[in-house]
Amino acid sequence: MELRFASRMKDYEEGIFQVLNEKKEELVRQGRTVYNLSVGTPDFQPRQDIMDAVAEAARRPENYKYALRDLPELTEAVIGRYRKRYGVKLEPEEIMSVYGSQEGIAHIGLSLCDKDDIVLVPDPGYPIFAIGPSLAGARLMTYDLTEENHYLPDLEALGELADKAKFMIVSYPMNPICKCAPRSFYEALIPWARKHELLIIHDNAYSDIIYDGRKGISILSVPGAKEVCVEFYSLSKSFNYTGARMGFLTGNKELVQNFKKLRSQIDYGTFLPVQYGAIAALTGPDEPVLEQCEEYRKRRDALCGGFRSIGWNVPDSEGTMFAWAPIPEGFEDDTAFVMELMERTGVLCTPGSSFGKLGKGHVRFALTLPVETITQAVQAVKESGILP
Ligand SMILES: Cc1ncc(COP(=O)(O)O)c(C=O)c1O
């Protein structure tokens, strides 16, 4: 029998990533040193008390029932975190957990969009921003993030489209371009969204990984935001709770409750030990989060500064656990460059074109190796002679 799949499956071909992975495996088999800077999984550990809370809860048989809802202590912990970290006052009805922001962004369109509704997403952008709404049958329109516009959406130019669109996804500090938005941007965005009756979804995965004195904020700290905004908040990067899959949707009560209704059809709640670990993370001290940010800053300096010192003009990331680099002179295609870089140096990174058409001609490095290893990777690039 010939199996027939949904036509959307064609959009999810692994393509280049499969080829890159096979190439990487081949290098490993040959005994070559591989510097894997392609995947955004933190190599730092979760705090011991977070792991203890999960382990302790996992030993109690009553914690293996369907959870069905967020523990009230978990909701309280989010309220406390938002108050302390962002100066935002949240009500319990303005909070729900998701299995990581990825899952939340993948599904929220199903609770908001009818077929062919327009959704605005950034180019370049993190892939789920486009995949999520497209699962809901929405029509995607991209807005460009360009240097001329300081990598922010041009709100004036988008006015007409904003009138027609259902929602817009915004995210700073921004993966993959590693740029931040000033508070003044959000202060302009909120009244603009209200004027155009447009919902804003802010993906706030990296507010704790931000450099050079910049401050990571919640969009909900901007006056009027709760009227038109929700925010995804993730425990994956601030607390290295990545594989536990825990994030939150916060903000506009009606939007949160509407999404909760949808998710209650497909989900019976997060495993209770994971909820207990999240409570430990959210109610714990701030110092480890700040110290970790400082470690990422040193890695950023080793990578961006290191590449600049050997003649590759890679700008310093303003935030996120990544670096965004224009491909060196003499190369035209980012994917071909990634392949050649891997072959000649063992350094793995991600082609910028996998983040949208404006990602072309760039590559993304993840800051997921220690400073010494990043320094060795930079040296390997220098010695390879791949740079002009
Ligand atoms: C911008 C952005 N949003 C969301 C996610 C997914 O985070 P989570 O682990 O909470 O699903 C990532 C992960 O790399 C990301 O970079």
Query: Rounded to 5 degrees, what are φ and ψ at 143?
Result: -115, 140
Residue nearest to atom 3 of ligand 1 (CA): 205
Tell me the pLDDT tens digit for each residue of 46-104.
999 999 999 999 999 999 999 999 999 999 999 999 999 999 999 999 999 999 999 99
Q: Percentage of the chain with pLDDT > 70? A: 100
Alpha helical stretches, state H, the chain: 16-29, 48-58, 72-81, 100-112, 128-135, 155-164, 183-195, 225-228, 253-266, 272-283, 287-300, 306-309, 334-345, 371-384
Q: Kindly report the pTM of this predicted structure.
A: 0.96
Look up residue 334 and give its two tokens: 């980012």
E strand or H helix at 247, and its extent? strand 247-251
Instruction: Count H helices and E strands in the chain, helices first.
Output: 14, 12
Which pLDDT score is estimated for 11? 84
Distance (angstroms) between ligand 1 centre and the Cα of 205 equals 6
Angstrom distance (rounded) from CA 74 to CA 92: 10
Question: Confidence band (pLDDT; 50, 70, 90) for 40?
Answer: confident
Question: What is the percent of the chain with per-residue pLDDT over 90, rounded to a whole number?
Answer: 94
Residue 113 φ then ψ, to 5°: -110, 140
Contact 161, 118 (CB under 8 A): yes
Q: What is the pLDDT of residue 221?
A: 98
Average pLDDT, the chain: 96
- pLDDT, tens only, 301-355: 999 999 999 999 999 999 999 999 999 999 999 999 999 999 999 999 999 999 9
Q: Is the pLDDT of residue 12 over 90?
A: no
Please give the torsion angle defined by the CA atoms of residues 358, 363, 369 and 371, in that order, rounded to the nearest 10 degrees.
-100
Residue whose CA lies nearest to ligand 1 atom number 14: 40
Q: What are the pLDDT digits (tens) for 219-231? A: 999 999 999 999 9
ω into residue 173 within 30 of 0, thus cis?
Answer: yes
Residue showing tokens 């400073």 = 371
Q: What are phi and psi of 70, to 5 degrees?
A: -80, 135
Tokens of 260: 């909760």
Q: What is the pLDDT of residue 16?
A: 76
- pLDDT for res 55: 98
Statement: residue 197 has pLDDT above 90 = yes
pLDDT digits (tens, 9 = 90+) for 198-221: 999 999 999 999 999 999 999 999
Q: Tens of pLDDT along 242-281?
A: 999 999 999 999 999 999 999 999 999 999 999 999 999 9
Which residues are near ligand 1 (CB < 6 Å)? 40, 100-102, 126, 171, 175, 203, 205, 234, 236, 242, 247
Cα–ligand 1 centroid distance for 101 (angstroms): 6
